[in-house]
Chain A
């Protein structure tokens, strides 16, 4: 009965699980000893010495903390009156300090107070430093400009404002914030357990995977119970999610008209030799959905029906990345000559229009012939943002315009023909 009751209140204590994520994040600092002497980060494979020492670190920290938690819990339960530890009581939020002052005198109590204030300040500083390096690490992948996210001072100001708002909401009460804290800690620990389970399962360690799977359930129960009783953390987390999604969506749509190509390179020597031949008003750029001879012939006939075009064509077939949620990627270019015309295949594109614009700026063609899609523009805009497809012709024009606006040098501008079919 007693134990069942204790297990029921356990979720409220879950914030005592904090610190493990930090334990892993400081891993690069841990010396691997003799085992890792020959280890190179490029060769792959885990530095086993460092992993083993991290295990020692995690275990030692957990044992020290466990001992302190149990001892402090016994001492505080036995020595503090219920009236004192209630919210607003003298011992609330400072149970050990309360005992130190009462039984060991003001001098020792003050020493304890000072050291607690110091270590709590360091905890705050480490949390701030952790966030300042977590955010720039992930947000650029969402199309958030690295220079925005990496500017640590504006980020500090944003976090400062958030801190102030949250402190005012909770009235700076220690106990009131514990639920939200536990939620954050539990989400991280649950995600760690989940990631470990999947990784172990894939590696064939079925036994261990089942064990961590059960742990997932334990943490999931704890999290659910916590969120039910104190939804503060869930609310704060949701607000952060919405803010982050908005920030990323805005940033990504603004930046979607950049070239979004880190760099381009030729795939082989032949392409590299052909490269200079097509630069500088030498060819007409014709993007096509497939580079087969039939499609090319049809396209030439279609263009010849409406325009009197001289000069070779460069047929460009853009192969998109499988994962187009990426913001940018390097581009691989293959060129070959077919009769008078050239055929270009590019691989690794995140969006069709940006790639065409990029190639156009790279070779300065005489003109570009692009088909219109006959579809709803709003839907096309969404398809463009999410999957890099969409109303290509108009987007190429938009991207090129932006680029011309932003670059100081004299622009060599191609004619752009938008063809309805």
Chain B
């Protein structure tokens, strides 16, 4: 099972948190109708209804189940990691991580491209920016990276805490010298009863 014993974070009512999800979800209204039109033409509303049905009857129930089992926010990748042992699980996580990265990276580039599109087509900005879609997009992406380089991560209060204690302790102790760590551990001779030759797949 996952290690849910993370540090406590301040919580907020769900109707406030929804806007954090919303920036990802609702922002796709900027480009989604146009893409639907291009793909489906006149039947776009019907295709959209199909999408809505899949959303309400598919995505929502699935993620309600995920929420019940991964309430510390690890999502489906952590759930699948626990299903497969050893290198198979590791390989699957790498694969999923790559596609999650694809999702997130394209979220950035697509959002920047669409923001640039809105900016350069605006009648007031048109004369300033000209038709340079690519340049404006790159400028937006540079600004995004610059903000994060300055330390936006620290500023984001809503960032969920790291769950897995390994992420901070994996190597640091192994280089500190075994002698010292064995000696300090000696202070608790009883030790903790542990399932022998086996550890949880997590961490």
Instruction: State whether the Cβ of A381 lies closer than 8 Å to any Cβ in chain B.
Output: no
Residue of B24, B48, B164 near A73 (CB, 8 A) is: B48
A-B contact pairs, 30 of them (CB 8 A): A12-B35, A27-B160, A28-B6, A30-B13, A42-B4, A54-B71, A56-B14, A57-B18, A73-B33, A76-B36, A93-B31, A94-B34, A97-B121, A123-B111, A128-B152, A134-B100, A135-B101, A140-B164, A141-B90, A152-B148, A160-B142, A160-B144, A173-B113, A187-B96, A193-B62, A236-B106, A240-B101, A259-B178, A268-B191, A332-B194
Among all A-B residue pairs, the 10 with the closest Cβ atoms: A19-B25, A184-B103, A272-B189, A6-B46, A240-B98, A192-B76, A160-B145, A187-B99, A12-B39, A127-B107
- Residues facing A in B78-134 (CB within 8 A) are 79-80, 83, 85-87, 89-90, 93-119, 121-125, 133-134
The closest CB in chain A to the CB of B88 belongs to A325
Q: For residue B170, which residues in chain A have a CB less than 8 angstroms away from its CB?
A: 140, 145-146, 262, 327-328
Instruction: State whether the Cβ of A95 lies closer than 8 Å to any Cβ in chain B.
Output: yes
Bitwise, A307-324 to B at CB < 8 A (1) or not (0) is 000000000000111111
Indicate if the CB atoms of B105 and A166 lie closer than 8 Å: yes
Q: In the complex, how many angstroms separate the beta carbon of B53 from the nearest chain A beta carbon? A: 9
Residue of A27, A133, A173, A272 near B67 (CB, 8 A) is: A27
Given A97-B118, A122-B27, A175-B38, do A137 and B63 touch, yes or no (CB 8 Å)?
Answer: no
Q: In the complex, how many angstroms separate the beta carbon of B181 from the nearest chain A beta carbon? A: 4
Instruction: State whether the Cβ of A264 lies closer than 8 Å to any Cβ in chain B.
Output: yes
Indicate if the CB atoms of A262 and B173 lie closer than 8 Å: yes
Q: For residue A98, which residues in chain B have a CB less than 8 angstroms away from its CB?
A: 121
> Chain B interface: which size bin?
35 or more
Instruction: State whether the Cβ of A275 lies closer than 8 Å to any Cβ in chain B.
Output: yes
Instruction: State whether the Cβ of A378 lies closer than 8 Å to any Cβ in chain B.
Output: no
Indicate if the CB atoms of B89 and A325 lie closer than 8 Å: yes
Indicate if the CB atoms of B191 and A267 lie closer than 8 Å: yes
Residue of B99, B171, B173 near A255 (CB, 8 A) is: B171
Q: A195 CA to B188 CA in the complex, in Å?
A: 40
Q: For residue A97, which residues in chain B have a CB less than 8 angstroms away from its CB?
A: 30, 118, 121
Indicate if the CB atoms of A124 and B144 lie closer than 8 Å: yes
The closest CB in chain A to the CB of B125 belongs to A113
Indicate if the CB atoms of B45 and A57 lie closer than 8 Å: no
Bitwise, A267-293 to B at CB < 8 A (1) or not (0) is 111011101000000000000000000
Given A188-B96, A268-B190, A323-B85, do A55 and B64 touch, yes or no (CB 8 Å)?
Answer: yes
Residue of B56, B61, B72 near A63 (CB, 8 A) is: B56
Instruction: State whether the Cβ of A414 lies closer than 8 Å to any Cβ in chain B.
Output: no
Given A80-B37, A215-B58, do A26 and B160 touch, yes or no (CB 8 Å)?
Answer: yes
Q: For residue A160, which residues in chain B have a CB less than 8 angstroms away from its CB?
A: 141-142, 144-145
Q: For residue A73, which residues in chain B have a CB less than 8 angstroms away from its CB?
A: 33, 36-37, 44-45, 48
Q: For residue A85, which residues in chain B have a CB less than 8 angstroms away from its CB?
A: 34, 37-38
Indicate if the CB atoms of B51 and A17 lie closer than 8 Å: yes
Given A9-B39, A140-B170, do A116 and B30 touch, yes or no (CB 8 Å)?
Answer: yes
Most buried by A among B20, B56, B67: B67
Q: A53 CA to B67 CA in the complex, in Å?
A: 10
Q: For residue A191, which residues in chain B have a CB less than 8 angstroms away from its CB?
A: 76-77, 80, 96
Most buried by A among B23, B50, B85: B23
Residue of A72, A171, A181, A347 near B33 (CB, 8 A) is: A72
Q: For residue A324, which residues in chain B have a CB less than 8 angstroms away from its CB?
A: 86
Indicate if the CB atoms of B99 and A244 lie closer than 8 Å: no
Residue of B116, B186, B197 near A348 (CB, 8 A) is: B197
Residue of B14, B27, B99, B167 near A137 (CB, 8 A) is: B167
Q: A46 CA to B71 CA in the complex, in Å?
A: 7
The closest CB in chain B to the CB of A360 belongs to B178
Q: In the complex, how many angstroms separate the beta carbon of B179 from the nearest chain A beta carbon? A: 5
Instruction: State whether the Cβ of A35 lies closer than 8 Å to any Cβ in chain B.
Output: no
Q: A241 CA to B95 CA in the complex, in Å?
A: 6
Bitwise, A219-232 to B at CB < 8 A (1) or not (0) is 10000000000000
Residue of A25, A121, A265 near B115 (CB, 8 A) is: A121
Q: In the complex, how many angstroms separate the beta carbon of A378 from the nearest chain B beta carbon? A: 19
Q: A54 CA to B60 CA in the complex, in Å?
A: 11
Chain-B contact segment, one of A196-204, A365-373, A389-397: A196-204
Q: For residue A27, which residues in chain B have a CB less than 8 angstroms away from its CB?
A: 67, 70-73, 160
Q: In the complex, how many angstroms separate the beta carbon of A151 from the nearest chain B beta carbon? A: 11
Q: For residue B72, which residues in chain A have a CB less than 8 angstroms away from its CB?
A: 27-28, 41
Q: For residue A141, which residues in chain B have a CB less than 8 angstroms away from its CB?
A: 90, 93, 164, 166, 203
Q: In the complex, how many angstroms separate the beta carbon of B150 from the nearest chain A beta carbon? A: 9
Q: For residue B191, which residues in chain A have a CB less than 8 angstroms away from its CB?
A: 265-268, 332
The closest CB in chain A to the CB of B116 belongs to A172
